[in-house]
Amino acid sequence: MLELQHVTRVFGPTRAVDDVSFLVPKGSVFGYIGPNGAGKTTSMRILATLELPTSGDAFVEGLSSVNDPDRVRRRLGFMPDHFSTYSDTSCAEYLDFFARSNGLVGRERTRRMRWVMDFTGLRAMAEKPINGLSKGMRQRLCLGRALIHDPSVLILDEPAAGLDPRARIELRQIIRSLAAEGKTILVSSHILSELAEICDRVGIIEQGRLLANDTVSALRMKSQFHQDLIILIDGPTDGALDSLSQLPCVSDVRCTDQTISFRVEGGPSKQIQVLHHLCDARVPVMEYRVVDESLEDLFMKLTSGHVQ
């Protein structure tokens, strides 16, 4: 598992990370979401032993990134948000270099190289120079490098940045299958909707402070002061419109054919009251559907847009 305990990192006047704590249980995926300059990379670098916190501590499988960096590195794969390499290096050479740096030798190195090439879909590109790779393939190679020593914990810093829709979907599948194997994964992004489907929990960070740490559905519930709903009526809609007009919590009523959309002020218990009211009035409701608040809306609600 992975843990930050009251981590603060100050750069001059900037509190890049400000008293952040969270825990990612084994085998789960934690989405770390925040706008530019929020402090995601700094906290990930602290976990990955590449940066020291000003105060607090970070732990990988119970080992301190501050006091026990060598042992942490053996358990951890870090995919940075960008990487550079020599211009004429091929994919196989690049992976081989990191396999050797991680102490892999002989058959074990060959076996890990094969596994990574197959898992990331890079086998056909093995002899290609890295500079000739597409963005998606470069990201796969960078992920392969993070996986080469079979770490139990993965830290992926904006792995989906710059990828086309197909490559994003493939990346999500790769992350989910790694979690299914029992790996603990911390993955960052600017965009909540990009990670929501694959994360067990998300942390939202802005200006160094963790604003939320919850499941996506719980975040949705907490942020809901109103909810848009759609009902489908079997027959004329007059009775339904009349019933809805009696409820002070209902507004924005719109009707097209047999479909009525409206807004309910209040949380889930208010929505249930509305449904009861319609049933009591014998309105023939065939379908009752909540319009999911877009994840972009949720992100905008939780963050203020300030940068430091």
Ligand X SMILES: Nc1ncnc2c1ncn2[C@@H]1O[C@H](COP(=O)(O)OP(=O)(O)OP(=O)(O)O)[C@@H](O)[C@H]1O
- Interacting residues with ligand X (CB under 6 A): 11, 14, 16, 34, 36-42, 81, 190, 308
In whole angstroms, the minimum distance from the beta carbon of 34 to ligand X comes to: 5
Asked if residues 41 and 50 have their Cβ atoms less than 8 Å apart, the reply is: no
**Based on CB atoms, which residue is closest to ligand X, 57 or 81?**
81
Query: Which residues partner with 129 through β-bridges?
Result: 90
**Based on CB atoms, which residue is closest to ligand X, 42 or 227?**
42
Interatomic CA distance for residues 92 and 125, integer angstroms: 8
In whole angstroms, the minimum distance from the beta carbon of 158 to ligand X comes to: 7
Interatomic CA distance for residues 212 and 196, integer angstroms: 14
Asked if residues 259 and 229 have their Cβ atoms less than 8 Å apart, the reply is: no
**Based on CB atoms, which residue is closest to ligand X, 120 or 188?**
188
Interatomic CA distance for residues 219 and 230, integer angstroms: 22
In whole angstroms, the minimum distance from the beta carbon of 187 to ligand X comes to: 13
Interatomic CA distance for residues 180 and 183, integer angstroms: 7
Interatomic CA distance for residues 92 and 128, integer angstroms: 8
**Based on CB atoms, which residue is closest to ligand X, 116 or 210?**
210
Place of tokens 């900037």: 14
SS3 state of residue 175: helix
**Based on CB atoms, which residue is closest to ligand X, 43 or 184?**
43
In whole angstroms, the minimum distance from the beta carbon of 307 to ligand X comes to: 7
In whole angstroms, the minimum distance from the beta carbon of 291 to ligand X comes to: 30
Strands 285-291 and 250-256: unpaired
The DSSP 8-state label assigned to residue 90 in this structure reads B
Interatomic CA distance for residues 302 and 186, integer angstroms: 20
**Based on CB atoms, which residue is closest to ligand X, 54 or 259?**
54
In whole angstroms, the minimum distance from the beta carbon of 39 to ligand X comes to: 5
